[in-house]
Chains A and B, each alone.
Chain A
Amino acid sequence: MTDDSTDQDEILSAPLIIEYPFQRTTGPVIGAFLTGLRERVLVGSRAEDGRVIVPPAEFDPVSGNDLTELVEVGPAGEVQTWAWVTAPHDKHPLDHPFAWAQIRPDGADTAMLGAVDAGTIEAMSTGLRVEPVWADERVGHIDDITRWVPVASGEGA
């Protein structure tokens, strides 16, 4: 029989790390978006109704047809909506408070997610103009944008 008075200190525990090391092929459209990041260029796709979707969609959201025209947008853009992160965790891109934001790059009709390094929550606002900060070493990955920062007033318009 087990002893009812089991010493709780005797319970074992150990770190358990599960990793799924996915590597996936991108196809030509997402591949072009990632190539653009490596080249410090933001790329969207032009839908059949003329809207520019960023990150680029492979298929028209209405008709489902292939979208084949990729166009350069931004890279500066405008914050459309945001949420302030007061306590970033290990896997966040920044180790101090920042804003997750939906950012619509200039020339695009949709927004993409980015981390805005605004310093303080007071510096954040809907409509804030921001621009990406590129990593020194870029590999064709979304992390090639390390963060977005407010555009100094008078610039980036």
Chain B
Amino acid sequence: MVDIRLPESLRGVEPVRSVRTPAQLDYEFTAGDATSRFLKGITEKRIIGQRATPTSRVYVPPRGADPELGAATPIEVEVAQTGTVTSFCVVNLAFYGSVMEIPYTSALILLDGADLSVMHLIQEIPADQVRIGMRVEAVWRDDADIEPTLESIKYFRPNGEPDDPNVRIPGEGHGTGLGSWVGGVAPTEAIIRNPRTGEGGEVR
């Protein structure tokens, strides 16, 4: 470290070595129609996704649009409360704001009937035994504590079924966090409609 020459007035006083500079952003989050309906489903302990057509992808949680087709998703679909771990992360470090006891496991879970993974906790299994392809089920809070939040699902736990070996990017031998691609086909320009020109897009 370089030698700093201080003015007389600061010699011999305890130097400041660090400073707190928190950044806080205050929002009012408006869920919108699709997510509001999803969260109302949660209050009935149902997990509801949406899709654009009877055969296109089911998005859970829904955002009201299919980004691949550039189309609204007016069809509601209830999906299963069981699913497959598509990716996970074992958290070994406590961090500011965390209320979890470490280590814990956060995972992307592809619910049966959905085409997009949700992120949630995996519990009732040691962190080092969680694996891609593991089958899990939702564990809800007590009925009295159910609220319109995904936290009404306390966590997911292994449901005892054999692992799903098919959770992977098509053509690659390992798992990913991307969930499944419809029909094992990657999104390409051929199947994505350009929302500006309206060209392309194959409604399946």
Name A residues whose Cβ lies closer than 8 Å to a Cβ of B: 1-2, 6, 10-26, 28-32, 34-36, 38-39, 41, 43, 66, 68-72, 90, 140-141
Contact = CB atoms under 8 A, between A and B. Distances in A.
B17 A32 contact: no
A10 to B, nearest CB: 6
B22 A39 contact: no
A2 B37 contact: yes
Given A2-B37, A2-B50, A12-B148, A31 B17 contact: yes
B6 A32 contact: yes
A26 B30 contact: no
B19 A140 contact: yes
B144 interface: no
A30 B3 CA distance: 14
Contact of A34 (B19, B23, B40): B19
B190 interface: no
Contacts, number: 130
Given A11-B36, A39-B13, A2 B148 contact: no
A13 to B, nearest CB: 4
A24 B21 contact: yes
Nearest to B3: A68
A140 B36 CA distance: 46
B76 A28 contact: no
Interface residues of B, number: 43
Given A11-B30, A15-B29, 14 more contacts: A1-B75, A2-B75, A10-B36, A11-B36, A18-B27, A19-B25, A19-B97, A21-B22, A21-B96, A21-B97, A23-B20, A24-B18, A25-B17, A25-B18
Interface of B: 1-10, 13-33, 35-37, 39-40, 50, 74-76, 96-97, 148
B21 A22 contact: yes
Contacts of A12: 30-31, 35-36, 39-40, 148
Contacts of B24: 17-20
